[in-house]
C-alpha cells in the first residue's frame, strides 16, 4: 500500500461514532484525518482557505446529514476550480446508493455503501489520494509554466510559437522578417526562461493539462 504521510482525509459525517470509527481505521493505516460534524462546518473551513490544497487530500462525505446535505456540499465543491485536487468519496446507506452513483457520474471519486468494508474503503482512499497527488503536481507545473510564459517578451513569444510548430530558424527568420542570428538569440532566451533544452521539451511543457 502506498503511504501518503502528509495527506489528510476530511471526515464529514453527523454521526460521531462513524467519525471516530473512521478516524481510528485511518490511523491504523498511518493516515491523518480531520473530522467535521456537518457539511456547513466543512464548507466554512474550505472557504476560509487562502489557496488551493498543496498536499494530497480527499473527503469522506456522508450523503444524508441535518442542515446542508452531503450532496448540497458536493455541488458547492464542484464550483471550485481545483476540486479534482480534493476527491470526494461518498458514504451512503443502501437507500442512497442510486443518488451516490449519480454523484459519481457528476465528478465524485466513488461511493462506499454502509456498512463498508474497511479494506475496500482504505484502498479507495489511497487511490483518491494518488489522484490528488497527481492533480496537485499538474496544477503546480501549470502555474510554473504560466509564470515562465509571463516573463517572455512579445518577440520571444512570436519566436516560441513558430519554434513549437517545428519551423527551423531560417523559416522563423523569414516569417518574422528578422535575421537568423536574432532568431537564435531569442530561441536561446526562450529555452532558458522556459527551463527547457529543446523544441520538443518546450512543446511538451506547453501541453501540460490544467
**14-27 residue pLDDT tens:** 999 999 999 999 99
pTM for the complete prediction?
0.77
Query: Does pLDDT of 4 surpass 90?
Result: no
207 three-state secondary structure: coil
Q: What is the predicted pLDDT for the residue at 209?
A: 53
Query: Does pLDDT of 1 surpass 80?
Result: no
Query: Each residue of 92-127: pLDDT tens digit?
Result: 887 788 888 888 898 999 999 888 889 999 999 999
What CATH topology corresponds to 151-206?
A: Arc Repressor Mutant, subunit A (1.10.10)
Query: Each residue of 139-183: pLDDT tens digit?
Result: 888 888 888 888 999 999 999 999 999 899 999 999 999 999 999
- CA distance linking residue 169 with residue 131, whole number of Å: 40
Contact 29, 78 (CB under 8 A): no
Query: Does pLDDT of 2 surpass 70?
Result: no
For cell 504521510, the residue is 5
Reading the block at residue 10, the C-alpha cell is 476530511
Query: Each residue of 24-58: pLDDT tens digit?
Result: 999 999 999 999 999 999 999 999 999 999 999 99
What average pLDDT score do residues 4-18 get? Answer: 91
Query: Each residue of 74-96: pLDDT tens digit?
Result: 999 999 999 999 999 999 887 78
Contact 93, 113 (CB under 8 A): yes
Counting beta carbons within 10 angstroms of the beta carbon of residue 149, is it exposed (0 to 12), middle (13 to 18) or buried (19 or more)? middle
Domain boundaries along the sequence of the chain? 8-143, 151-206
Reading the block at residue 59, the C-alpha cell is 473527503
Q: What is the predicted pLDDT for the residue at 8?
A: 95
Pick the CATH number of 8-143 from 2.40.420.20, 3.40.50.2300, 3.40.720.10, 3.40.50.10320: 3.40.50.2300
For 24-176, strand residue ranges (E) read: 32-36, 57-62, 88-92, 110-113
Buried/exposed 103-123: b ≥16 CB within 10 Å, e otherwise: beeeebbbbbeeebeeeebbe
Question: Nearest-CA neighbor of 12 among 54, 80, 70?
Answer: 70
Q: What is the predicted pLDDT for the residue at 25?
A: 95
Contacts of 189 (CB under 8 A, 6+ apart): 156
Strand ranges across the sheet with 110-113: 32-36, 8-12, 57-62, 88-92, 110-113
Amino acid at each position: 500500500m502506498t503511504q501518503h504521510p502528509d495527506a489528510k482525509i476530511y471526515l464529514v459525517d453527523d454521526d460521531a461514532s462513524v467519525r471516530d470509527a473512521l478516524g481510528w481505521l485511518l490511523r491504523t493505516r498511518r493516515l491523518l484525518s480531520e473530522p467535521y460534524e456537518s457539511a456547513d462546518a466543512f464548507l466554512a473551513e474550505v472557504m476560509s482557505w487562502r489557496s488551493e490544497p498543496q498536499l494530497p487530500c480527499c473527503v469522506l462525505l456522508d450523503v444524508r446529514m441535518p442542515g446542508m446535505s452531503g450532496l448540497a456540499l458536493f455541488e458547492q465543491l464542484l464550483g471550485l476550480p481545483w476540486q479534482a485536487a480534493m476527491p470526494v468519496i461518498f458514504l451512503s446507506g443502501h437507500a442512497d446508493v442510486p443518488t451516490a452513483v449519480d454523484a459519481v457520474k457528476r465528478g465524485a471519486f466513488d461511493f462506499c455503501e454502509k456498512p463498508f468494508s474497511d479494506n475496500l474503503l482504505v484502498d479507495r482512499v489511497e487511490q483518491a489520494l494518488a489522484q490528488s497527488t497527481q492533480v496537485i503536481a499538474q496544477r503546480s507545473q501549470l502555474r510554473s509554466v504560466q509564470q515562465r510564459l509571463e516573463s517572455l517578451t512579445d518577440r520571444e513569444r512570436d519566436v516560441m510559437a513558430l519554434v513549437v510548430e517545428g519551423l527551423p530558424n531560417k523559416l522563423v527568420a523569414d516569417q518574422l522578417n528578422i535575421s537568423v542570428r536574432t532568431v537564435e538569440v531569442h530561441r536561446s532566451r526562450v529555452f532558458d526562461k522556459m527551463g527547457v533544452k529543446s523544441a520538443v521539451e518546450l512543446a511538451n511543457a506547453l501541453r501540460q493539462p490544467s
